[in-house]
Each structure stands twice: as C-alpha cells, then as structure tokens.
Structure 1
Amino acid sequence: MRAPRTIRPLVAESWQRSARVDPDGVPALALDGDELEAARERGPLGTALPVVRRLLLDDVRAAGCIAAVTDASGRLVWVDGASSARRAAEAMGFVAGADWAEDRAGTSAPGTALRLGRGVQIRSDEHYANAVKRFSCTAVPLRDVTGQVVGAVDITGDDRAVERHTLPLLTATVAAAEAELALAALRHPRRPAARALPGSELVLLGSDTATLRTGDHAVRLSERHSEITAVLASTPAGLAAEDLAAAVYGDRRAVTTLRAEVVRLRRVLAQHAPGATLTSRPYRLDGIRTDVDAVLSALERGARLQAVDGYTGPVLPGSASPGVDDLRDRVRLRFREALVADGGADALQAWARTADGGADEQVLRALLAVLPRRSPRRAGLVAAIEALGGR
C-alpha cells in the first residue's frame, strides 16, 4: 500500500514503517483478563488511570468519542467512552487487550506516538489500516518519574478527536497523571539494591559491531550479538521470540537459531556485564544503557550540538538486520525532526557535515533557509540539494 502524495511527512514515514502490516487485518488480542486487571491495578498505569478517568472521561463521552490507555508496547489496557463510539470501534479491534503498536496495527495515534515519543494526531485517511479510516485519533505518551515511556493516552472518534484543543487537553491530562506518578514515587521510594552492580554501556554508533563497556573494561560483541542487543535495547517493553527473530534475521521462523544465540549472549553478559539481565517471554534486556539513548536524550533536552557531537555514525552501519535498519531510520528521523524544528544554524550545519545529515534534503533546505544571503556556503548547499533531488 502506498501513501497518497499529499500526505504529511510524519504519516508517510509511518506508512513506510507499517509496510509489513496487513491493511485489511485487525489487531490481535495480546492481553487476557488477568493481565489486564494487573496492568490496571498495579505499576505506573495503575497510578495514572484514576487521573485519566477523572480528567478525561466525562468530556470524551460528551463529545461522542472514546478514551484509551496503552502500555509501553502499545497494548490497550483500558478503553471507555461513548457507547456508540465503543461499539463502532470494536469492529476495528480497538478493544482492551488488543495490540495497537505501530508495527502491529499500522499508523495510528497511540502506536505512532509511542514510536516517536511525542504527541501525535492522525486523521481518518492517514491511518494505514482500512478498518480505521472511519476514525481520527490523538495520543500523547505517558512517562514515569525517570522519563521512561510507560504508556500512552488516546482519544479516538470522529473529527472531534483531532480538533485543535484535543492535543492540549491530552497533554494537560498526561501532565497531571505524570505528576501523580512523581508523587507516588516520593510516597513509596524504591529501596536501593543491597549490592550495587556496575552499570554497562552499549556503544552502537559508527561501528559494524557493538562494544560493551562496564567500568574500565570493554569487549567487542559479535555481529549477531550486536544486532540482538541493539534491537532489545531499543525496545524496553521486550519482544516475543518470533518478533525478535524477524527483527534480527528477517524470518519469524528462525526462533531456534535465535534461542541458541541468546544462550551464548547470556554467557557473554554474565561475564562482562553482571548488572545486565536478558529475560525471555518476552525477550527483554535491562541494565544496559546505549550511546543511542545518550544522543536522543540530548536532543530531547534541547542540547542539539551535544547530540550531534555524540553521533559518531549510524547504528551498526554494516548490519542488514531489519530491526537494526529500522533503528537507524528512527534515529535519523529524530535528528531531522529536532533540528529542522529548532532551526538553529549551528546545529543544522553540524548535522549537515555528517554523512546522514548531508544526504537529507529536508535538513539541507532548512539550513539554506537560515543561512545569511551572502554566506559562501549557500552555493554548495544549492548544488547538494539539486543533486539529491535528481536521484
């Protein structure tokens, strides 16, 4: 399926990421009754849900729409609202327990907001799946006190779900929920571990294989272990075995091969990163930070030049794994969006000097727009833009 030529860049890029999703399919149920009850009553969503209900539900019902909350991986934990809208949404699988992650359901406000880490509005025809094109939606990610995304809050319905006031309303609701999470953290602080294990960093940028650093010790991982750790480190909620196999090998059937590699990887982590854990069902990697996290965090803080300086090259540039390729694209997109929106000449020039920035026509056009008219760089930029446009 191809996106219309007039579609917004944000949506077009989401459609490209959604290419493996069946546009005529319906999201599968991923949480059963017990799992839903646990998610609603415990953890960060258990704390945030009462705030969302109190601040959002009456207005959403009055507007004939529905409100929803997802977990960090895009699974709907709670759905409520106008009864007519809920009945209509059931036909497209928008029900509690369904998996609305972007890579499962295609372009939608909750899935795409989680993917991009910011508020998103998706109008009817901008949805990737055909069954969803009757609806419009707005969603904003929800973060805990550490800044970790723990879910998203969504409003879905007709065109009223994407009115100008809807995104500010959701942003304010999420801010109130996050304040409640912060208060809960103060009331019930986590006890420190009895023995602090050294933290580890995974260096993924600019090298075909990853380097695992723990204190003064460093070890270079194999290509396959680099790909597995890169994919898992960028997916905090974890991945099912079939999904991880598809991300690493491009083949959902390669689960047996994957499991053998994971056994070997666990041995490497036990020896070189004792504070890290690699669990299964789903596969999830904890206790390791990455240089990708560092540069994206700098972008979020507005430290654009610091982020560009820390970007030493694409994520595992020699890897052909679909999940790594997707991560590379996500990082490039975050840089483009942050730098073009900010419009700072210094940061744009620094990014344009990198291979990724220099090959991005949008970045070069943004830089051209902010350079002084007599700048000697303008002629070279125009030539580079024309060359990119001719590809």
Structure 2
Amino acid sequence: MPGDPGEPADDAAAAAGGLRAEVAESWHRSAAAGVRFDQPEAPITLPDDDLRDYRAAHPLARVFPLLEDILGQAARDTGSLMAVSDAAGQLLWVCGNSSTLRSAESIAFVEGSNWDERLAGTNAPGLALRLDRPVGVLGGEHFRRSVQDWSCVAAPIHDPSTVSLLGVLDVTGGPGLAVPQAMAMVRAAARMAEAELARGDSGPAYEPLPGRGTQLLVEGLGRSDALLTISADGARSPQMRLSPRHSEILVLLAGSPTGLTGDELAIQLYAEDGGSSTLRAELNRLRSLLGAQVLASRPYRLAADVMADWLAVEAQAAGGQTRAALQAYRGPLLPRSTAPGVIALRDAVHGSLRRAVLTSGEADLMSTWTRSAWGADDYEMWQALQSTLSATSPMQPLVQGQLARLDSELG
C-alpha cells in the first residue's frame, strides 16, 4: 500500500513516491487542493432537487440509453458500477445491482457527487477529466483510504463538432474488476457515444460539421492496405485501395474522433522524428482524395460518419457479442504497419477479442481462434480449449498434440 492512508494531506508527497508517475502527480494535486487521506466521502454538489433537471438538459442524456444498454447490464452482472459524469466531475448517472450501489454509498459514489480529483482525490473519472484520455486507477492508487478497496477505469466523451469535453464514462468495481476487459469496453462505448452524437440532431450545440452527410467505410483488418468506400448524397464511390501511408493516417484518424494535432499524428505515425514535412505532403494528397470538407484540420480529423471493421469488432467484443466479433475478424489491423499508433490500435483490438474468446467458455470459438494464422501458436488458448472440452472429446488428442508441439518449440 502506498504510504499510510491515515497521513495528513501535507505528507502526501512522501506517500506518493512508489506510484505510477501520472498517479503520483494526481496525489500531489489532491493534497495541494486540501483533500485528506481519511476523508470518507466525495462531496455532493448536485442535490436531488437539482439533479434531475440538470442531467435531462445535459448533452449526454441523449446517449445515456445507448451507454446503459452497452455497459449497464454488464456492470450489474459482474457486480460493478457504470457511471457517467459531466465535465466538472459530477456523477449524473450511476448504474449497478442493488448490493453494489449500497456499498458505493459508503464512499458517496452516487448520483450528484463530485469526483473531480481536487474534491475527491485521485480516482479514474477525475484523472480522465484531468488528462483527457482513458485511464485506470487501481486499489491503493486511490488517494483516499475509503476508496482503496475499489478499482475503476474511465474514458472521456467529447462533443464531436466542437471537440469540447462533455464528461467521462466510468466502470468501477471491487478488487476482482477485470481491468483490461473493462478498459476495452469503456473505450469502445465512449467511441460509440461520440459517433451517436455526431449522427444525430441534438440542437444548436451539435450543429454538424461540413461533410457530416458523408460516410466513410474503412476496412483494415487482415490487410496491408486499407480499402475505402465513400458515400455522399446517395452516391457511393467505387472501393479504393489506399497506399500504406494513407491507410495508416486514415486508421489513426478514425480511431481519434476528436482529432489529432500535426505533432500528435506525427508521433503516432513515425517511429523516429523528422517526418513532419513528409506528413504534410501525405495529408494534402489524402485531402485531395477525400475532399477538403471531410479531412478537416486544426486538429486533423474526419468530419464524416466513419464505419470501420476494426471498430465494429472492438465494440462487439466489448459488448459481449464474441461470436459475431470473431466472425468479422479477418486478421490483425494493417499487420505490416510499423507506425506506433497503428501498432497500439492493432494490439488493443486483437487483445480485446482474444480476451473475449479466452473467457467465453465456448470450445468452438476457441477452436476457431487456434485454427487461424494468428492463433495457431497461442499456448494459453490451447490450454483453455483443453480444459473446456470434455475428457472424452475427440478433439482432445489434437489439442494435446498441439500443446506438445508448442512445449517442444518453446522449450
């Protein structure tokens, strides 16, 4: 445990020494704001008589039914909580089974409470708001002692037209929270919420960007070069095969609905510095292909509805539709790309689907995975398949033979 949770906040700097850098920095900010280790509850900043009207008028009210459908039941089934906050850290919705909701009342993780780190100490919703990216805060990484039996992951949700931060989506659970799976689900659900906001008419604050009537269909799974189809005004372009570099740029922008600055895009695209002038030229060529209204700038982003095969697989896996996700998975995303950002996306999608298959308990799904080029040497999957099959299954000799082969090859 990092430090004595009973210490006064003035001594938080010493207690934060063994934490991850981003968490330690949050501890310092929490202490500087006057939060105490022994503070039991987060403050209530939206009392019940104000909460209902406030959240009904909030932009995220439009996508809450979608989020509740995707994550709410999963949270109940796993004894976790799903929460949605506004940009100030105020929890607008908290969903879970009755026993978990009662447990969370002890730390005031309830609708109307405020989990900004300056008020509630280090926690995932507050840190996601501060850093404006998905984060996890596990057990003893929480600043306050009362919260250290919980773990949480959170991802920001942005207005797709103004790129402003609307709030965060959070999953919170006990020590048994499956953090990688929860993080994948939260990230995918936040993206789906942003896509839903971009599609719908939510009033003057969500006036569509030029090009929002355009739809891009991008296919990058199992392909070295992405395929692109553009639909606009009822017309559909012929399917285009993009160059490797344009494929990478489109994949990175499709995975970042709020956009990327030139520097951010360059970092995710090039393993080494020095590609800024080349990147500008590539972006100009891509803009001529997509249209100036579709490839917007400052920051660079796709001002269109984007449908992508890897995003669909990630969302299906996160939403428990493992069979459909596996059927749609044609292989790793742009497998030959060495762009750091593409590698990260590729690993995230592949890992999310693999975990879903591994924990499915479905022998046919595990068998399908091991018959693929990317799963043939997956030792853990072969082991899981062996334990799932009955002792008399005719597949047992095959599985045992593959495990023996891998034991021999891997030493």
TM-score, normalised via structure 1 length: 0.59
Return closer, same or farther for 1:305/1:216 CA change in 2, 3 Å cut-off: farther
The residue that corresponds to 1:280 in the other structure is: 297
Report the RMSD for the aligned CA atoms in angstroms. 5.1
Q: Which amino acid counterpart does residue 99 of structure 1 have in structure 2?
A: L
Conserved? CA contact 2:246–2:282, under 8 Å: yes
Give 1:322's aligned residue: 340
Q: CA deviation at 1:317?
A: 1.2
For residues 383 and 150 of structure 1, what CA distance do their matches in structure 2 show? 53
Counterpart position of 2:243: 222
Residue 108 of structure 1 is matched in structure 2 by: 136
Deviations 1:315-348 (A, max 9, x none): 1111111111111111111111211222112222
Partner-residue secondary structure (3-state), 2:351? helix
May I ask how many residue pairs the two structures share in their alignment? 303
- The answer to whether the 8 A contact 1:201-1:288 is kept is yes
Partner of 2:67: none
Q: Which of residues 276, 280, 290 is equivalent to 2:308?
A: 290
Question: Are the aligned partners of 2:128 and 2:156 in contact in 1 as well (CA < 8 Å)?
Answer: no
C-alpha separation in 1, matches of 2:341 and 2:221: 15
The one-letter amino acid paired with 2:130 is: A
Offset of residue 80 of structure 1: 2.8
1:352 positional shift: 1.7
Q: Please list every run of at least 4 consecutive aligned residues from structure 1 whose deviation after the TM superposition is greater than 6 angstroms.
A: 45-48, 58-62, 65-68, 185-196
- TM alignment of 1:344-359, pairs within 5 A: 344-359=362-377
Q: CA deviation at 1:206?
A: 1.5
Deviation at 1:376, TM superposition (A): 3.5
Aligned pair 1:99/2:99, yes or no?
Answer: no
Give, in angstroms, the shift of residue 196 of structure 1. 8.9
For the pair 1:257 / 2:274, whether they are aligned, the reply is: no
Residue 384 (1) aligns with residue 398 (2): no
Q: Which amino acid aligns with 1:98?
A: R
Give distance in 2, aligned partners of 1:61 and 1:375: 45
2:9 is matched with none
For the residue of structure 2 that corresponds to 1:108, the secondary structure is: strand
Task: Name the structure 1 match of 2:351.
Answer: 333
Q: How far 1:375 sits from its partner (Å)?
A: 2.9
2:223 aligned with 1:202: no
Cα gap change, 1:387 to 1:277, in 2 (>3 Å): farther
Distance 1:61 1:194, change over 3 A: closer
Q: Cα distance 1:240–1:155, how it changes in 2: closer, same or farther (>3 A)?
A: same
Counterpart of 2:229 in structure 1 is 213
CA distance in 2, matches of 1:196, 1:139: 31
Amino acid aligned to 2:221: L
* TM-score (norm: length of structure 2): 0.57
Query: Structure 1 residues 53 and 202, CA, compared in 2 at 3 Å: closer, same or farther?
Result: closer
Q: Which residue of 2 aligns with 1:307?
A: 325
Question: How far is 1:301 from its partner?
Answer: 5.4
Residue type of the partner of 2:119?
Answer: R
Conserved? CA contact 1:26–1:93, under 8 Å: no
Aligned equivalents of 1:246, 1:278: Cα separation in 2 = 19
Aligned residue runs from structure 1 range 119-268, under 5 A: 122-124=138-140, 137-139=151-153, 152-154=168-170, 162=174, 199-214=215-230, 215=236, 217-251=238-272, 254-268=275-289
Evaluate the alpha carbon distance shift between residue 372 and residue 238 of structure 1 in structure 2; reply closer, same or farther with a 3 A threshold: same
CA contact (8 A) 2:136 2:154 kept: no
Distance 1:384 1:98, change over 3 A: same
Identical-pair percentage: 26
Structure 1 residue runs without a partner (length 5+): 1-20, 30-39, 69-77, 110-121, 128-132
For residue 86 of structure 1, what is the amino acid of its counterpart? L
State the Cα distance separating 1:59 from its structure 2 match. 8.8
Change in CA separation of 1:154 and 1:266 when aligned onto 2, cut-off 3 Å: same
CA distance in structure 2 between the partners assigned to 1:229 and 1:22 by the alignment: 32
For residues 391 and 296 of structure 2, the distance between their equivalents in structure 1, rounded to whole angstroms, comes to 56
Structure 1 residue aligned with 2:119: 86
One-letter identity of the residue aligned with 2:278: T
Per-residue displacement from partner, 1:239-261 (whole Å, max 9, x unpaired)?
A: 23222211111246533332222
Q: Is the 8 A contact 2:154 2:168 kept in 1?
A: yes
After superposition, the Cα gap between the structure-2 partners of 1:25 and 1:388, relative to the gap in structure 1 and judged at 3 Å, is farther
Q: Tell me the secondary structure at the aligned position of residue 313 of structure 1.
A: coil
8 Å Cα contact 2:133-2:156 kept in structure 1: no
- How far, CA to CA, are the matches of 1:204 and 1:316 in structure 2? 6
SS of aligned partner of 1:288: strand
Cα distance 1:382–1:294, how it changes in 2: closer, same or farther (>3 A)? same
CA shift in 2, pair 1:225/1:155, >3 Å: closer
Separation (CA, whole Å) in 1 of partners of 2:300 and 2:364: 41
